Amino acid sequence: MDLPVVDLAPFLGAAAGCAADEEEMRALCATVSASLRDTGALLVKDPRCSAADNDRFLDVVERYFARSAEAKRLQERPHLHYQVGVTPEGVEVPRSLVDKDMQEKIRSMPEEFQPATPKGPDPKWRYMWRVGPRPANTRFKELNSEPVIPDGLPEWKETMDSWGYKMISAIEVVAEMAAIGFGLPKDAFTTLMKEGPHLLAPTGSDLQRHGSEGTVFAGYHYDLNFLTIHGRSRFPGLNIWLRNGKKMEVKVPVGCLLIQSGKQLEWLTGGECLAGMHEVVVSKRTLDAIALAKEQNRSLWRVSSTLFSHIASDAILKPLGHFAETPNADSYPPICAGDYVEQELSVINLKGKDGL
């Protein structure tokens, strides 16, 4: 099964006042909401986010991850729950290693759809870069900290901000289209996203050291945020699980962006949209890409071009509009988004159990 590719240009044109076919707009919005509901994922084309922009971003981040572990650790901020700066390899624990319910669910899957079993914490590095305005007043200072800028990469801030803002712009359009498709007001999601702790969060996986088939870079998990967006990586390896339980390797076409539903969207839709399960594993296609990169003398760091969009930390997560009447709405009681995020970070070892 292929994910649908939705071109955002007609919706952007209509928002800018161009003549638009209302029927076509409704159909586009319905495709977005149905894909998030049924597959937990969606491919989009945004004329404002070019393949060249993505490449420029990947080039800079590859150079950063190629630095020594000691040099990278200067940007480590564990006291801020790793929500800014670098997270070294071997820190983040995949949810499937510590969540008993998830382990039971995995055991009940048909063998061909089961995820790879991680041996321990993820062997990937990650850089968290806060994008967008921060709230003047918040209870969640650690989730809204100042960004950390590595030395020796003068283009870092401009490149990260430029790509980050473009990806957030794409998410906001998808959020509006999803809201319309779900029968909610157009701004139902985007209002709650205002001043959210959005994080451009590229991962770096060293294929020189960890490039054997079956290596698990990111164990089976869901994302705790609202919607996740990825530009195309230079090395494949991402698997997702559809609502029907089938496992599928994602192929992101050049010039496209991949969107995945996160736990905050699940909360706001009362479980109508489930957070998309996924993993990153070295596959046969990854090995082919490694061989080609070696031939072309290119970097062997697999960089994911990932941005986590969030609901504002001080906003309340609860099923919106008609979703409050759904059979599962009671499973999603009102909770402050920042409290929810901190609970999740504790489970995956990014926040001390005692809050330190």
Model pTM greater than 0.85?
Answer: yes
Q: Please choose, from the candidates 237, 170, 236, 178, the residue with its C-alpha nearest in 3D space to the C-alpha of residue 200.
A: 170
Q: How far apart are CA 52 and CA 330, in angstroms?
A: 45
CA geometry: angle 252, 258, 161, nearest 5 deg: 115
CB atoms closer than 10 angstroms to residue 45: 15
83 and 145 Cβ atoms separated by less than 8 Å? yes
Amino acid at the residue 281: V
Amino acid at the residue 193: M
Section 173-188 average pLDDT = 97
Tens digits of residue pLDDT in 257-288:
999 999 999 999 999 999 999 999 999 999 99
What's the pLDDT score for residue 80?
81
Tens digits of residue pLDDT in 55-69:
999 999 999 999 999
Query: What residue ranges do the domains of the chain occupy?
Result: 5-348
Amino acid at the residue 4: P
Amino acid at the residue 120: G
Residue 356 burial (10 A CB sphere; 0-12, 13-18, 19+): exposed
Alpha carbon 313 to its chain's center? 17
Q: Examine the pLDDT at 1 and tell me if it is beyond 80.
A: no
Residue 169 burial (10 A CB sphere; 0-12, 13-18, 19+): middle
337 and 310 Cβ atoms separated by less than 8 Å? yes
Q: How far apart are CA 240 and CA 274, in angstroms?
A: 13
Q: Examine the pLDDT at 20 and tell me if it is beyond 80.
A: no
Section 47-56 average pLDDT = 94
CATH code at 5-348: 2.60.120.330
Q: Examine the pLDDT at 153 and tell me if it is beyond 80.
A: yes
Give me the chain's average pLDDT, please.
91
Reported as a pLDDT band with limits 50, 70 and 90, residue 347 is: low
**Does residue 237 come out as left (phi exceeding 0), alpha (psi in the -120 to 50 range) or beta?**
left
Q: How far apart are CA 16 and CA 47, in angstroms?
A: 14
217 and 90 Cβ atoms separated by less than 8 Å? no
